[in-house]
Amino acid sequence: MSTPAPEEQLAALDAAIVARPDHVELYYHRAAVLARLGRTDAARQDYLAALALDPAHFGALTDLGGLLYATDFRSAARLVYAEAVKHHPGEPIARINLANALLANDALEEARFQFETALRLAPDHPDAHQGLANLLQQIGDSDGAEAHRRRSYGRRGLLHTPHLGDGEPCRVLILASAAGGNVPTRFILDPATFETHTLAVEAFAPGASLPAHAVVFNTVGDADLSPEAFDAAERVLAHTAAPVINPPARVRATDRQSNARRLARVPGVIAPRVDTVDREAVAARAAELGYPLLLRSPGYHTGRHFTKVDHADALAAALAALPGRDLLLIQYLDARDADGRSRKYRAMMIGGALFPLHLAVSDDWKVHYFTSAMADQPAYRAEEEAFLNDMAAVIGPRAMRALEGIRDVLALDYAGVDFGLSADGSVLLFEANATMVVNPPAAEPVWDYRRAPTARILDAARSLVLERGLPR
């Protein structure tokens, strides 16, 4: 007997709720159908209706938390997950959900407590081991992270995201690394168009079958974090003839040291000297390079474990605060303009085309959009809007040719470059790789000018995947 179509299920549930308006399971099941159809506002209201009838309903708490988290209501999701833990302290998944939300908010101690409690309840739970591995990696315990990561492999299968639209989907096999550092695809591969299976490449067993797919999106993206993941991705690709977005061999070549050396040869690019140095040899190499300089633990992003050292007397304290045996020693490029503020531009490279994504202005040398002064300064937003509307006019022909050269050297289907501008219009290279995030702007009207440029990038990425997935 076939399963009724979602709209038929909704009609039946609507009639049942009219007859029994106090039946919690009816609201819960209707919310689940609405969520599958992408009608998130209506689904949220039905989850809340179910919880009004039964505040401890585990399914409603869990699924509402997931819905809120997926739609970027992260604070609300944490509150809902905390309610699930309060009412169901013996459920491992409740603690794992809360721990992951806490980890994303950098509440590391609280997240660790929840992960470790989940493992006491379910010692082999792959998601708890994976989450704790991610946390340990963030705090610099690479050995501990790898131990938990390996324990997550055995019972971890493919993560399936079903197609929710009409007609036939484009079927995508996503290759990801259990170590993290993956290309974010949440806003690209929407379930209205795509059906996806995500495979942790390290968990792939020789001889295992792969799900039906028309195209492979290799999201293993951080060449400094886990070189072994690229070997694992290549082993998976030996079992498919489908076209591949971002072949692993090309992504592997984008570690910071290799990039600095090869992109320094591109006309119009000023790339810093980058050396991978044993921490015992940092002092000698730093004296050779000169101060100020930058120190970074490989494999971390968003400014984590990354510091500027202004003089030799500050080196010991900086070293003590960084995890890892090997460190990146990076020449400091001064990206300050005449006003004394640093500017960091980001351009995306999608299918060979260049797109401006954002400009961040900051008083600090370490510039990130989420910590910059953009929200508070209309003049900075006007500057960014000009960049988004006409990148070539803002950065000039020398920098545009340099970006084209970087694109050609990387030869990636999906990548981005963060850069500043020198006084002569050259590109000051910060980083260029596949892990660049493209997030839609926040809902406030002040960011309306960013919506169309961001949508163009996401549309280009979707079109790239669809084109590669067409029958040949």
Whole-number pLDDT of residue 156: 59
**Token pair for residue 313?**
């007397």
Alpha helix (H) residue ranges in 203-321: 227-237, 248-252, 256-263, 282-289, 315-320
Which of 35, 34, 67, 30 is CA-nearest to residue 49? 30
Mean pLDDT of the chain: 89
Task: Express as a percent the part of the chain with pLDDT over 70.
Answer: 96
HSE, side-chain direction, 13 A CA sphere, residue 134: 23
Q: What are phi and psi of 243, to 5 degrees?
A: -60, 150
Whether residue 417 is predicted with pLDDT greater than 90 in this model: the reply is yes
Whether residue 149 is predicted with pLDDT greater than 50 in this model: the reply is yes
**Which tens digit of pLDDT belongs to each residue from 298-346?**
767 666 788 888 888 888 888 888 887 888 888 888 888 878 888 999 9
Backbone angle region of 211, left / alpha / beta, with phi > 0 → left and psi within -120 to 50 → alpha: beta
Whole-number pLDDT of residue 369: 66
Whole-number pLDDT of residue 410: 97
Q: Fill in the amino acid letter for 42.
A: A
Q: Which of the two residues, 94 and 310, has the higher pLDDT score?
A: 94
Q: What would the mean pLDDT of 438-446 be, rounded to a whole number?
A: 86
Whole-number pLDDT of residue 303: 66
Residues 6+ apart with CB under 8 A from 161: 189, 191, 194, 195, 196, 197, 198
**Token pair for residue 117?**
């409690």
First-to-last alpha carbon distance for the chain, in angstroms, is 35
Residues 6+ apart with CB under 8 A from 166: none
Q: What would the mean pLDDT of 2-20 be, rounded to a whole number?
A: 81
**Which tens digit of pLDDT belongs to each residue from 122-147?**
998 988 998 998 898 888 787 888 88
Whole-number pLDDT of residue 102: 94
**Token pair for residue 424?**
């002569």
d(CA 328, CA 275): 6
Whether residue 415 is predicted with pLDDT greater than 60 in this model: the reply is yes
Whether residue 2 is predicted with pLDDT greater than 80 in this model: the reply is no
d(CA 77, CA 83): 10
pLDDT confidence tier of residue 288, bands split at 50, 70 and 90: confident
Task: Express as a percent the part of the chain with pLDDT over 90.
Answer: 54
d(CA 197, CA 172): 7
pLDDT confidence tier of residue 95, bands split at 50, 70 and 90: very high
Q: Which of the two residues, 233 and 309, has the higher pLDDT score?
A: 233
Whole-number pLDDT of residue 368: 67
Whole-number pLDDT of residue 45: 95
Beta carbons within 10 angstroms of residue 18's beta carbon: 9
Whether residue 155 is predicted with pLDDT greater than 60 in this model: the reply is no
d(CA 51, CA 54): 5
Whether residue 236 is predicted with pLDDT greater than 50 in this model: the reply is yes
At 28, is the secondary structure helix, strand, or coil? helix
pLDDT confidence tier of residue 217, bands split at 50, 70 and 90: very high
β-pair partners for 278: 326
Which H helix or E strand runs over 431? strand 427-433
**Which tens digit of pLDDT belongs to each residue from 60-79?**
999 999 999 887 788 999 99
DSSP tag of 345: E
d(CA 255, CA 54): 51
At 70, is the secondary structure helix, strand, or coil? helix
Q: Fill in the amino acid letter for 313.
A: D
Whole-number pLDDT of residue 114: 97
By the 8 A CB rule, do 234 and 247 touch?
A: no
d(CA 468, CA 172): 10
Which of 88, 148, 160 is CA-nearest to residue 98? 88
SS (H, E, C) 82-143: HHHHHHCCCCHHHHHHHHHHHHHCCCHHHHHHHHHHHHHHCCCCHHHHHHHHHHHHHCCCHH
Whole-number pLDDT of residue 1: 45
Residue 422: alpha-carbon gap to chain centroid: 29
pLDDT confidence tier of residue 370, bands split at 50, 70 and 90: low
Q: Fill in the amino acid letter for 443.
A: A
Beta carbons within 10 angstroms of residue 471's beta carbon: 4
CA distances from 188 to 36, 48, 192 (A): 17, 29, 11
Whether the pTM exceeds 0.75: the reply is: yes
d(CA 292, CA 290): 6
